[in-house]
């Protein structure tokens, strides 16, 4: 079942799913012209697994942001604090083979090859809104599988209350890790019910192809009702815990970046308003879009926070 469209979405923001499918070839052609020269190897052989992926539940019928904008404007501090340079700097990262350690409060811990994980978790496409804490946003056709379905296979214990995610630590290649912009390796976390929610996705692709390295390849988290810094990239460890884990941005600036990080126009960042957002790729003359609570996914997730003061637990 598709999520209902919000009355706050302009009609110009909505497109028919068939129109998006027709644009896929244009997107891929544009990618080939502008990015292929930066890639060390052709991706055509690995793209086949991402063709004809079924649209999963909770996907929205929205006009997607152009691939060029999404792949050339990224926050990836492991490489750089510049939003455009990661498109080149990340290309030296080896993403295959890739292993993920799953441990902590689970009955079946272990180190697993990503290829084996993908064999057991069928891919689906989901078009989601994505909202950055910096007050810009985009709409992305992610390809992945529900995090909750993966966690169930490893049988969380009754003590598992939180899930911690850790990014690869490789300062030789991820040169930004040589600095002190954040505590390394990057860590993020979710409450167990947030992790198990069917909206929460582990993505391995987007726009009918593998995730570009600058967008978090080969495995990243996507939590559409939270600010983008929660959607950790290049995941190498998933650990289930009894207590709330420390997270990178919350450690760096606890007064600015909370653990929950739910999109909330009523709670401004200390240095800017969150009431409106700039759509990535939009003209400078395009009015900013009004930010929706939970990024427009309140009908699905608001019950997770019933009774909580969302201005206090930001």
The binding site for Mo-molybdopterin consists of 77-78, 132, 167, 215, 220, 231-233
Give the rounded distance of the alpha carbon of 6 from its chain centre: 21
Q: Map 212-248 to HEC letters.
A: CHHHCCCCEEECCCEEHHHCCCCEEEEEEECCCCCCH
Phi first, then psi, for residue 83 (nearest 5°) are -75, -20
Phi, psi of 74 (to 5 degrees): -135, 145
**Distance between CA 27 and CA 222 in Å, rounded?**
21
Q: State how far the Cα of 167 lies from the Cα of 188, in Å rounded to an integer.
A: 9
Please say whether the beta carbons of 67 and 27 come within 8 A: yes
Please give the annotated binding residues, written as ranges: 77-78, 132, 167, 215, 220, 231-233
How far, in whole angstroms, is CA 188 from its chain's centroid?
12
CA torsion sign for 297, 301, 305, 307 is positive
Q: Which long-range contacts (CB under 8 A, 24 or more apart) does 144-147 make?
A: 144/201, 144/202, 144/203, 144/204, 144/205, 144/222, 145/118, 145/121, 145/201, 145/202, 146/198, 146/200, 146/201, 146/202, 147/195, 147/196, 147/200, 147/201, 147/202, 147/221
168 with 236: CB under 8 angstroms?
Answer: yes
Given CA atoms 171, 176, 177, 180 in this order, what sign does their dihedral have?
Answer: positive
**How far are the Cα atoms of 71, 208, 293 from residue 62, in angstroms, in the given order?**
18, 16, 18
Distance from the first to the final alpha carbon of the chain: 30
């Amino acid at each position: 079942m598709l999520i209902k469209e919000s009355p706050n979405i302009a009609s110009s923001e909505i497109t028919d799913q068939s129109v998006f499918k027709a644009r896929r070839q244009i997107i891929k052609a544009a990618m080939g012209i502008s990015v292929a020269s930066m890639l060390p190897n052709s991706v055509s052989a690995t793209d086949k697994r991402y063709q004809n992926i079924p649209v999963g539940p909770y996907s929205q019928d929205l006009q997607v942001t152009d691939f060029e904008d999404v792949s050339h404007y990224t926050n990836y501090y492991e490489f750089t604090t510049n939003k455009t340079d990661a498109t080149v700097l990340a290309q030296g990262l080896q993403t295959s083979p890739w292993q993920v350690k799953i441990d902590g409060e689970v009955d079946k811990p272990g180190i697993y090859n990503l290829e084996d994980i993908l064999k057991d978790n069928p891919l689906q496409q989901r078009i989601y809104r994505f909202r950055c804490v910096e007050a810009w946003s985009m709409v992305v056709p992610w390809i992945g599988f529900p995090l909750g379905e993966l966690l169930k296979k490893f049988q969380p214990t009754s003590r598992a209350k939180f899930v911690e995610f850790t990014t690869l630590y490789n300062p030789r290649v991820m040169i930004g890790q040589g600095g002190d912009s954040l505590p390394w390796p990057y860590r993020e976390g979710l409450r167990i019910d947030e992790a198990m929610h069917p909206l929460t996705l582990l993505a391995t692709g987007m726009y009918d192809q593998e995730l570009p390295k600058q967008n978090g390849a080969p495995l990243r988290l996507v939590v559409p009702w939270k600010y983008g810094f929660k959607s950790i990239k290049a995941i190498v460890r998933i650990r289930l815990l009894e207590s709330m884990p420390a997270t990178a941005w919350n450690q760096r600036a606890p007064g600015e970046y909370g653990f929950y990080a739910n999109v909330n126009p009523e709670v401004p960042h200390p240095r800017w308003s969150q009431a409106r957002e700039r759509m990535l790729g939009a003209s400078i003359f395009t009015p900013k879009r009004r930010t929706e609570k939970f990024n427009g996914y309140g009908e699905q997730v608001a019950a997770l926070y019933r009774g909580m003061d969302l201005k206090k637990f930001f």
